[in-house]
Chain A
């Protein structure tokens, strides 16, 4: 079992990151190498400055707010929580004073971030069971949502264990040791990470996260990079 854990926590992580980084870079280069559309694709009336409105469209999703307010609430919660979780994971490498401007214990949100994220993902999943979203959906939509849900659920359980049940066996220092060893290409999985009571949660979390990262460049999740340029096209 320890070997399997090691394979997921070390080689698979490297492979996942390589696929994610290279795949995304190659995809973006390919997209940007394609010739520009010869004419404007904008929608009128125009508002200036266009780039500012494109940012507004990208980050505040006004069209969704107007036409599907409930979806908008969950989308906003989801994306804000996602950013907070990314910050949390960066803080697992080392302390950053900028993030500690609001003093907190790692992760931010006392476990609530993961909870909100899980609920949002369930909402996104279940709304696809209802027509017409059911007919619009393709397997990729379910696959990505289930993958993200499992990643978030198992990741959050570790956070909940520490934040809510004072489970201290596997703490930030252990993760930090593990992650820094990966970063410096001298992989070392501390015993606490490998053999703690809920090590399997970490392993399952990392396993699903790896799958998600490897799917990223080949899926609609590329909208993370494309939403802004596309909204700019609409704004002119």
Chain B
């Protein structure tokens, strides 16, 4: 690696060194308490998959260039030069970590490995060695934001075609729109994913609850966050923030996408609207008696996979259980404490990388498959697109014999008139 490239990469590294990051990089005592925290390590016991080891790969470069110890006594902390080989190590560390932050629950200091891995991801972007497809998807999202006026018509036609499906699930009054779009002054802006499965059931539930809602032009997923680029994460996020401001909505409701929810909830900053997940909104409708569910709709035991970004990292834990309590008589918990629920193994952009990561995703999530199997449930519900895809893959790979379902779809299918 030439000096110029290294300096540019170190500039990127420096840019990530805020207070929390410096705390995390200064403090690890390598006590090893996090050994059992990572699903990858528990499924494939290799030291390189221990959270502290992953973080140390970044920390060694930090020691070399940003810490006096690395300059005074380099070998003491095994500080390491930023080189091509170091980039390869960073790639493996960053893209074998799903950013589930389960290790944070174990660490006596609460070190956030996902955050440390964001340095690795940014350095990979700087060196143009990041996964190309994630970068491309992030760019496409940003481009959509810029050319929305051109794309609007095609989008509206596509949505119009879905309306009949929505009505099949929940009949609306004459003159009402099944999927309202671009409604200024609507109370709630629903941000879905690209795909009918993310729009139809949610629309049916909103209509059933009599919600004054409107559908966003943009898809919720934030590929900028997956690829670890703060600038692109912000640009993708801002498309929705601006839309919500223009429409003067009071609430932005994010579909079943963990990353999208966490990014919007925690990174949007102070805004004139509230941010909620669709699961929270559905639980609220149930509490307020705005919708009613048929408890006999689903046969067999049901279990629920807490998406890491929505539960452990987003705080939505009670709501899905409240909903499931009204959907089934036989609900079975996966873990006694949702904080300790195993990651599905598909986060951090791994599912978006598709076939390329399939073998690793299956091997590294064996503990998740075992956890699902031990519930003996026949329906596996979840509230995240990434998790759903990964759980579907696991179901097939490990012959789990479950039906993987979106919680929103279950709510929509079980809707009953008052």
> What's the nearest-Cβ distance from chain B to residue A85, in Å?
20
Quick check: B22 and A218 within 8 Å, CB to CB?
no
The 4 closest A-B pairs by CB, nearest first: A234-B110, A44-B315, A37-B20, A39-B266
User: With contacts A220-B29, A223-B109 known, what are 20 further pairs, Cβ within 8 A?
Assistant: A41-B115, A43-B101, A44-B317, A46-B315, A63-B107, A68-B33, A131-B47, A132-B32, A138-B78, A140-B76, A140-B77, A141-B29, A219-B69, A226-B109, A227-B109, A231-B109, A233-B20, A233-B112, A234-B104, A234-B110
From residue 89 to 138 of chain B, which have CB atoms closer than 8 A to chain A?
101, 104-112, 115
Q: Which residues of A contact B415 (CB under 8 A)?
A: none
From residue 289 to 330 of chain B, which have CB atoms closer than 8 A to chain A?
311-315, 317
Does B1 touch A at the CB level, under 8 Å? no
18 A–B contacts, CB within 8 A, in A order: A31-B23, A34-B18, A34-B19, A34-B22, A36-B19, A37-B115, A40-B266, A43-B105, A43-B339, A67-B106, A131-B47, A133-B31, A135-B53, A136-B47, A218-B72, A220-B27, A229-B23, A230-B23
From residue 85 to 120 of chain A, which have CB atoms closer than 8 A to chain B?
none
Does B75 touch A at the CB level, under 8 Å? yes
Quick check: B30 and A226 within 8 Å, CB to CB?
no
The contact size tier of chain B is 35 or more
- Contact A138 to B29, CB < 8 A, known contacts A44-B315, A44-B339, A63-B106: no
> What's the nearest-Cβ distance from chain B to residue A41, in Å?
6
Q: Which residues of A contact B315 (CB under 8 A)?
A: 44-46
Does B24 touch A at the CB level, under 8 Å? yes
Does A35 touch B at the CB level, under 8 Å? yes
- Contact A136 to B27, CB < 8 A, known contacts A39-B266, A230-B109: no
Quick check: B23 and A36 within 8 Å, CB to CB?
no
From residue 243 to 292 of chain B, which have CB atoms closer than 8 A to chain A?
266-267, 269
Beta-carbon contacts of A131-155 to B below 8 Å, as 1s and 0s? 1110111111101000000000000
Quick check: A45 and B317 within 8 Å, CB to CB?
yes
Of the candidates B19, B28, B29, B77, which one forms a contact with A32 in the assembled complex, judged by CB atoms under 8 Å apart? B19
Does A73 touch B at the CB level, under 8 Å? no
Of the candidates A30, A34, A67, A139, which one forms a contact with B36 in the assembled complex, judged by CB atoms under 8 Å apart? A67
Q: Which residues of B contact A25 (CB under 8 A)?
A: none
Of the candidates B28, B112, B115, which one forms a contact with A220 in the assembled complex, judged by CB atoms under 8 Å apart? B28
**How many CB-defined contacts (below 8 Å) exist between A and B?**
144
The contact size tier of chain A is 35 or more
Does A64 touch B at the CB level, under 8 Å? yes
Of the candidates A27, A67, A219, which one forms a contact with B33 in the assembled complex, judged by CB atoms under 8 Å apart? A67
Q: Which residues of B contact A143 (CB under 8 A)?
A: 76
Does B67 touch A at the CB level, under 8 Å? yes
Does B35 touch A at the CB level, under 8 Å? yes
Measured between alpha carbons, how far is A43 from B102 in the docked complex, in Å?
Answer: 9
Of the candidates B20, B47, B78, B108, which one forms a contact with A64 in the assembled complex, judged by CB atoms under 8 Å apart? B108
Centre residue among A40, A43, A64, A139 by max chain B CB count within 10 A: A43
Does A168 touch B at the CB level, under 8 Å? no
Measured between alpha carbons, how far is A222 from B24 in the docked complex, in Å?
Answer: 11
Q: Which residues of A contact B20 (CB under 8 A)?
A: 36-37, 41, 230, 233
Quick check: B32 and A133 within 8 Å, CB to CB?
yes
Quick check: A233 and B110 within 8 Å, CB to CB?
yes
Specify the chain A residue showing the minimal Cβ separation from B17. A34
Q: Which residues of A contact B33 (CB under 8 A)?
A: 63-64, 67-68, 71
Q: Which residues of A contact B22 (CB under 8 A)?
A: 30-31, 34
Does A57 touch B at the CB level, under 8 Å? yes
Measured between alpha carbons, how far is A218 from B19 in the docked complex, in Å?
Answer: 17
Does B21 touch A at the CB level, under 8 Å? yes
Does A61 touch B at the CB level, under 8 Å? yes
Interface residues of A, Cβ cutoff 8 Å to B: 27, 30-32, 34-41, 43-46, 57, 61, 63-64, 67-68, 71, 131-133, 135-141, 143, 218-220, 222-223, 226-227, 229-231, 233-235
Does B143 touch A at the CB level, under 8 Å? no
> What's the nearest-Cβ distance from chain B to residue A185, in Å?
27
Does B26 touch A at the CB level, under 8 Å? yes
Measured between alpha carbons, how far is A143 from B115 in the docked complex, in Å?
Answer: 28
Quick check: B76 and A43 within 8 Å, CB to CB?
no
Of the candidates A57, A135, A218, which one forms a contact with B47 in the assembled complex, judged by CB atoms under 8 Å apart? A135
Measured between alpha carbons, how far is A57 from B107 in the docked complex, in Å?
Answer: 10
> What's the nearest-Cβ distance from chain A to residue B69, in Å?
4
Q: Which residues of A contact B240 (CB under 8 A)?
A: none
Of the candidates A37, A67, A131, A223, which one forms a contact with B18 in the assembled complex, judged by CB atoms under 8 Å apart? A37
Quick check: A141 and B110 within 8 Å, CB to CB?
no
> What's the nearest-Cβ distance from chain B to residue A108, in Å?
26
Measured between alpha carbons, how far is A45 from B26 in the docked complex, in Å?
Answer: 27
Measured between alpha carbons, how far is A191 from B106 in the docked complex, in Å?
Answer: 52
Quick check: B269 and A222 within 8 Å, CB to CB?
no
Measured between alpha carbons, how far is A226 from B29 in the docked complex, in Å?
Answer: 12
Quick check: B78 and A139 within 8 Å, CB to CB?
yes
Does B50 touch A at the CB level, under 8 Å? yes
Specify the chain B residue showing the minimal Cβ separation from A231. B110
Measured between alpha carbons, how far is A95 from B138 in the docked complex, in Å?
Answer: 66
Q: Which residues of A contact B47 (CB under 8 A)?
A: 131-132, 135-136
Specify the chain A residue showing the minimal Cβ separation from B72. A218
Measured between alpha carbons, how far is A38 from B56 in the docked complex, in Å?
Answer: 24
> What's the nearest-Cβ distance from chain B to residue A128, in Å?
8
Does B68 touch A at the CB level, under 8 Å? yes
Measured between alpha carbons, how far is A55 from B75 in the docked complex, in Å?
Answer: 34
- Contact A222 to B26, CB < 8 A, known contacts A36-B19, A37-B20, A43-B312: yes
Quick check: A136 and B18 within 8 Å, CB to CB?
no
Measured between alpha carbons, how far is A68 from B34 in the docked complex, in Å?
Answer: 10
